[in-house]
Amino acid sequence: MMLVLPCAVLNAASKPNPLIVEKIRIGEHGLKTRVVLDFNRKTDFRVFHLANPPRIVIDMEPAQWHIAKAQFMLNGLLKGYRSGSLEDGLTRVIFDLNKPAVISEAYTLPAKEFEKDRLVVDLTPSTQNLFDGKLSDVFGNRDLAGPGAAPKFTSGYAEMENNTMRAIAAPANPVMAPAAYMAPRDPLSGKQHKRYTIVVDAGHGGEDPGASGPGGIKEKNITLAIAKEIERQLQETGRYNVVLTRDRDVYIKLRERVDISRRVKGDLFISIHADKIGRTGVRGASIYTLSERASDAETQRLADDENNSGVVAGVDLASESQDVAGILLDLAMREKMNDSKLLSHYLESAFMSNNVRLLPNSHRAAGFAVLKAPDVPSVLIETGFLSNMDEAKLLTTPQFQRSIATAIVGGVDSYFRKILALQKI
């Protein structure tokens, strides 16, 4: 015999319990900021980025709030949050960011002992370029749809007051739909006709640890970490090809580092180092270009080495006598040295803009071997002093390494804008 249930009973059984937001938690795990929403049951969701200003958005099925909007404490990434209903009935939560950050993961976890159903969103700090490149990404169900109702939009805004949170009323402004496009990358200029090649040299490596600092800090590890961060940020701009002279802990001869730069036809060569001296109170970065006094002897050696190798720095050495080749190469080298000085000027400005401490008279000149490529503008950056305990520890932190890399990318951008304005390339 078939059992027939009344329609009312079937509808009641198939209708899920109302979704309830029971708690919002926030925590830091290394560089990662984790936002967790606790629910009374599982829910579908979508999470995405919004720009101008930077925000993280969570959409979910219609939900009730059983918590104070002021429940969780903000951290360095999060400025505040708002919640309300979209016209189709979905609930939207918007987290306002103090600075760009991107979603690294977003997922749900099922309920278990002492834990509710949860939505977990992990955020990591980012550059503006990376944030802009993520505007079309959607985590979860991109086609999430509400029940079709259009409840009145309500909103709240969380802000800090005496180190606690309070919720205040806000105008019922409509919430925009998720962005569905990739923001165009900002070109250096309409004259840019190629992706420039930047060679980033992590100083020392392998059997050559470089300088050492407190607690076993080694220069070779710091320079490699910073070089990789520079590579990441340069590639994010979409304007540069990046070549690392080393991408792991290996020893590479100084002359080979220069040869790598020349083989890939680098447009810039940037060597990363950290300093150490006998005075522990000295700290700050400095930027070196090739010394004028090192030019003459080096030019003659290069001419002797290269005058059978064809075109170097735009000079066809093979077709010239040794004396003429030396003169032409000297002129070409001096032009590249001037370009190196121009780059150092923009790097200094970018370091100051990004609050990276510089030494007094931070642009200096020396005869470093890695600066002696005749056809590639080159700088060597001493990022700080391992002999200063505070700066040594700072140099090992990902946050400071990102600041240094951001400053270097800003200086490189400014350099090429100037070069393009001068129509040099």
Instruction: Supply the CATH number for residue 91's domain.
Output: 2.60.40.3500
| pLDDT, position 2 | 40
Are residues 353 and 223 part of one domain?
A: yes
User: Region 394-422: what's the mean pLDDT?
Assistant: 92
pTM: 0.53
- Whether residue 12 is contained in a domain is answered as no
pLDDT tens digits for range 69-96:
444 445 578 887 878 888 778 888 888 8
Are residues 284 and 401 part of one domain?
A: yes
| pLDDT, position 69 | 47
User: Region 345-372: what's the mean pLDDT?
Assistant: 86
Are residues 381 and 235 part of one domain?
A: yes
Does the pLDDT value for residue 333 go beyond 90? Answer: no
| pLDDT, position 293 | 58
Are residues 211 and 164 part of one domain?
A: no
| pLDDT, position 294 | 46
Does the pLDDT value for residue 368 go beyond 60? Answer: yes
- Whether residue 7 is contained in a domain is answered as no
d(CA 249, CA 268): 23
> How far are the Cα atoms of 85, 294, 323, 358, 378 from residue 367, in angstroms, in the given order?
65, 6, 23, 21, 12
- Whether residue 252 is contained in a domain is answered as yes
pLDDT band at 300 (very low <50, low <70, confident <90, very high): very low
pLDDT band at 236 (very low <50, low <70, confident <90, very high): confident
Q: Three-state secondary structure along the chain?
A: CCCCCCHHHHHHHHCCCCEEEEEEEEEEECCEEEEEEEECCCCCEEEEEECCCCEEEEEECCEEECCCCCCCCCCCCEEEEEEEECCCCCEEEEEEECCCEEEEEEEEECCECCECEEEEEEEEECCHHHHHHCCCCEEECCCCCCCCCCCCCCCEEEEEECCEEEEEECCCCCCCCCCCCCCCCCCCCCCCCCCEEEEEEECCECCECCCECHHHCEHHHHHHHHHHHHHHHHHHHCCEEEEECCCCCCCCCHHHHHHHHHHCCCCEEEEEEEECCCCCCCCCEEEEEECHHHHHHHHHHHHHHHCCCCEECCEEHHHCCHHHHHHHHHHHHHHHHHHHHHHHHHHHHHHHHCCCCEEEEEEEEECCHHHCCCCCCEEEEEEEECCCHHHHHHHCCHHHHHHHHHHHHHHHHHHHHHHHHCCCC
Q: For residue 400, what are the β-bridge partners? A: none
User: Region 280-298: what's the mean pLDDT?
Assistant: 75
Q: Residue 319 is which amino acid?
A: S
Are residues 235 and 126 part of one domain?
A: no
CA-based Rg of the chain, rounded to a whole angstrom?
28
| pLDDT, position 220 | 96
Q: Which residue has the higher pLDDT, 292 or 424?
A: 292
Task: Using DSSP bridges, classify how beta strands 311-312 and 78-85 pair: parallel, antiparallel or unpaired.
Answer: unpaired
Burial class (CB in 10 A: 0-12, 13-18, 19+), 71: middle
| pLDDT, position 299 | 40
- Whether residue 281 is contained in a domain is answered as yes
Q: What is the CATH number of the domain that holds 393?
A: 3.40.630.40
Total domain count, the chain: 2
Q: For residue 35, what are the β-bridge partners? A: 26, 121
| pLDDT, position 268 | 95
Are residues 160 and 70 part of one domain?
A: yes
pLDDT band at 397 (very low <50, low <70, confident <90, very high): very high
- Among candidate residues 169, 187, 222, the one where a domain is terminated: 169
User: Region 283-311: what's the mean pLDDT?
Assistant: 58
d(CA 387, CA 142): 52
> Please, what is the average pLDDT of the chain?
76
- Whether residue 88 is contained in a domain is answered as yes
d(CA 386, CA 275): 6
Are residues 206 and 96 part of one domain?
A: no
Are residues 141 and 232 part of one domain?
A: no
pLDDT tens digits for range 264-287:
889 999 999 998 888 898 999 999
d(CA 322, CA 47): 66
| pLDDT, position 255 | 85
- Whether residue 190 is contained in a domain is answered as no
User: Region 354-366: what's the mean pLDDT?
Assistant: 87
Does the pLDDT value for residue 350 go beyond 80? Answer: yes
Q: For residue 25, what are the β-bridge partners? A: 36
pLDDT tens digits for range 7-30:
444 444 455 688 888 888 887 766
pLDDT band at 98 (very low <50, low <70, confident <90, very high): confident
- Whether residue 306 is contained in a domain is answered as yes
| pLDDT, position 10 | 42
User: Region 370-388: what's the mean pLDDT?
Assistant: 88
Q: Which residue has the higher pLDDT, 195 or 71?
A: 195
Does the pLDDT value for residue 404 go beyond 60? Answer: yes
> How far are the Cα atoms of 100, 241, 283 from residue 263, in angstroms, in the given order?
37, 14, 35
pLDDT tens digits for range 136-187:
888 988 888 777 544 333 333 333 222 222 332 232 232 332 332 223 345 5
- Among candidate residues 118, 151, 169, the one where a domain is terminated: 169
Are residues 349 and 415 part of one domain?
A: yes
Does the pLDDT value for residue 320 go beyond 70? Answer: no
Are residues 236 and 153 part of one domain?
A: no
Q: Which residue has the higher pLDDT, 367 or 198?
A: 198
- Whether residue 206 is contained in a domain is answered as yes
Are residues 165 and 233 part of one domain?
A: no
In the chain, the percentage of residues whose pLDDT exceeds 90 is: 32
| pLDDT, position 30 | 64
In the chain, the percentage of residues whose pLDDT exceeds 70 is: 71
Spatial contact of 164 and 80, defined as CB atoms under 8 Å apart: no
Supply the range of the domain harboring residue 154. Answer: 17-169
Are residues 205 and 157 part of one domain?
A: no
